[in-house]
Amino acid sequence: MSKHLNGSANGTSGGRKARRHCSIELVDAKVAVDLATAQTYSENVFLFVPNLIGYTRVILAGLSLHFMSYHPKYCTLAYCISCLLDAVDGQAARALGQTSKFGAVLDMVTDRCTTSCLLCYLSSAYPSYALIFQFLIALDFSSHYMHMYSSLVTGSRNHKLVTSDVSRILWYYYNDSRTLFFMCAGNEVFFVSLYLMKWVHTPISDSLPFLYIPPYFAYLASFTWPQLVALLSFLVCVGKNIINVVQLWKASKILVGVDLAERAAAREKSE
């Protein structure tokens, strides 16, 4: 079964027509379930290599949560490997021709849940800043959910396919792999550093007494290394969350535009 969503809307005072026309081919849910049940081993989306990497990420994230409250080394190792694999599954999908909607959503859900679980721990570790961590969780989930949904209703095959005329910031963020990796990695590094600050209390000058530190950087020697890493990655975290705000706002405008287009089409049909 297929359906098509076509939208048109009145423009500004000039009376211009909106140029957003979309066509999405939908598959009946029962048909989709039957296809997934009947898939063979040679063409089983659940067993695609990038999706197997995704399951590994979930397991590692679970291990990091298990160790989070009492073994920071194991927790950090499992968490960081899970995050680094995020940069591998996409490359594997493209190299093997195994891109899938399931894999894209699995990847996004794993990212959101992993970061949110760490932020929940940070809320208990830093109760004075719990409201900030709760806000970051809400912003992360709402921004990515609305962006994913707006991508689907406008016919995009991938939530990362953002054109520059929709948002230059999001276009650069999603279409430059180096920028995407740097921002995501820097954001996670900041949160992991905050976690390790609760466990590491030895200043750099004491932990590395043989290290020469220039006089104009001497004040940094009183920091622990997680504090120093947090200081260096803080602005990246701020930038990443500004992008989340932009993404939420642009997705909201797209959804409102689709609403207006559908309402205009309904009025035209009733006339």
Q: Cα(81)–Cα(61) distance, rounded to whole angstroms?
A: 9
Helices 101-125 and 72-84, axial angle in degrees (round to 10): 150
28 is a catalytic site residue: no
Separation of CA 268 from chain center: 39
Could you identify the residue written with the tokens 């530190």?
213
8 A C-beta contact, residue 42 and residue 94: no
Residue among 196, 191, 193 at smallest CA distance from 111: 191
Q: Cα(196)–Cα(180) distance, rounded to whole angstroms?
A: 24
Catalytic annotation, pick one of 34, 111, 206, 259? 111
Could you identify the residue written with the tokens 């073994």?
71
**Catalytic annotation, residues:** 111
